[in-house]
Structure 1
Amino acid sequence: MKIIRACIYPKDVQCITGRSERYGRKLLRDIRAYFGKAEHQFITSEEFAEYSGIDVEIINQYLKQVS
């Protein structure tokens, strides 16, 4: 059984969206602000899906492939 990662990193945002890793860092920073999280806290796949409008199943499928 493969374990799916719960958190999203800038490289994941880059691969999912096709944008740069720098854009991924900015987007994760924006998501942290949107959810009122501190700088050291992680962004979950569910939070990323809610903010981006991408279905959480698509994100989880990607995370299964790269894990």
Structure 2
Amino acid sequence: MKIVRACIYPKDIQCITGRSERYGRKLLNRIKIHFGKEPYQFITSEEFAEYSGINLEIVNEYLRKVS
């Protein structure tokens, strides 16, 4: 059984959305502000899915493929 990664990186956002990696970094920063996280904290797949409106199953399926 593969373990699904819990955190999202800019490269993941790039692959999921088709946008640039720079857009992924900016989006992660906006999500951190939205959830009141510190700059050094990670964004989970659940938080990304909630903020972006993308179904959590789609995000986790992508993470399973790349892990």
With structure 1 as the length reference, what TM-score do the two structures score?
0.99
Instruction: Encode CA deviations 1:12-55: one digit per residue, 9 max, x unaligned.
Output: 00000000000000000000000000000000000000000000
RMSD (CA atoms): 0.2
Higher strand share: 1
Identical counterparts, % of pairs: 76
Q: Which 5+ residue runs of structure 2 have no aligned equivalent?
A: none
- 1:41 maps onto 2:27 in alignment: no
Q: Which 5+ residue runs of structure 1 have no aligned equivalent?
A: none
Give the match for residue 32 of structure 1. Answer: 32
In 2, the alpha carbon distance for the partners of 1:25 and 1:49 equals: 16
Aligned residues: 67
Amino acid of the structure 2 residue aligned with 1:50: E
Amino acid of the structure 2 residue aligned with 1:58: I
Amino acid of the structure 1 residue aligned with 2:23: Y
> Partner of 2:63: helix, strand, or coil?
helix
Give the match for residue 20 of structure 2. Answer: 20
With structure 2 as the length reference, what TM-score do the two structures score?
0.99
Amino acid of the structure 1 residue aligned with 2:5: R
Give the C-alpha shift of residue 62 in structure 1.
0.2
Give the C-alpha shift of residue 3 in structure 1.
0.6
